[in-house]
Amino acid sequence: MRYGVLILVLTALLVAGGLWIGGKREAVAPAQGIKEERIAMTPEATNVDPVLPKSDAEWKKRLTPEEYRVTREKGTEAPFSGKYYKIDKQGVYRCVCCGAPLFSSETKFDAHCGWPSFWKPLAEGNLKLLTDDSHGMRRIEVQCRRCGAHLGHVFDDGPQPTGQRFCINSASLELDEKKAK
């Protein structure tokens, strides 16, 4: 009886503290300056696919195996291997799944971490930030708000003015060189 009450109390504390996520990822207001703004997709959202796949089979037809693994299965490409890790071309980085504009080349920097890094999204409303407790650590996952594609993670160790480092998989991005921002 005593153990049952203790388990009930501990569970209540975990739920109240936001630590219990019941096997799924919940939207959170991340700590230390990382915030999620709920605003509409930016006007730069041209080249966005009007129709999104509805099944895994449709996504598999549209994406390469690596793009599918990273964006739909929340995978991570090997560090220092992505096509955009060392590229300096100007343009807008879009979601490889739906074309939503995510990052400008003007905010890209070399974080020496092995993945493309940005200190600011093109528009925070185009991203969704979620708690990620996988692999025994707590991180903030970055997803495309429009299609839910896994992009990478955001950390509070980036350069000023934001102090943020959006560490993004190349496999989740497509560079649109036509629109520099």
Burial-class residue 85 by CB neighbours within 10 Å (0-12, 13-18, 19+). Answer: middle
DSSP state letter for 16: H
Sign of CA dihedral 178, 163, 173, 123: negative
Q: Is 86 within 8 Å of 79 (Cβ atoms)?
A: no
HSE at residue 171, side-chain half, CA atoms within 13 A, is: 23
144 alpha carbon, distance to own chain's centre: 6
Q: Which of 97, 144, 147, 167 is catalytic?
A: 167
Q: What phi and psi, each to the nearest 5 degrees, are found at residue 143?
A: -125, 155
| Cβ count near 167 (within 10 Å) | 23
Whether 98 is catalytic: no
Q: What phi and psi, each to the nearest 5 degrees, are found at residue 133?
A: -100, 20
SS3 69: helix
Q: What amino acid positions are annotated as catalytic residues? A: 167
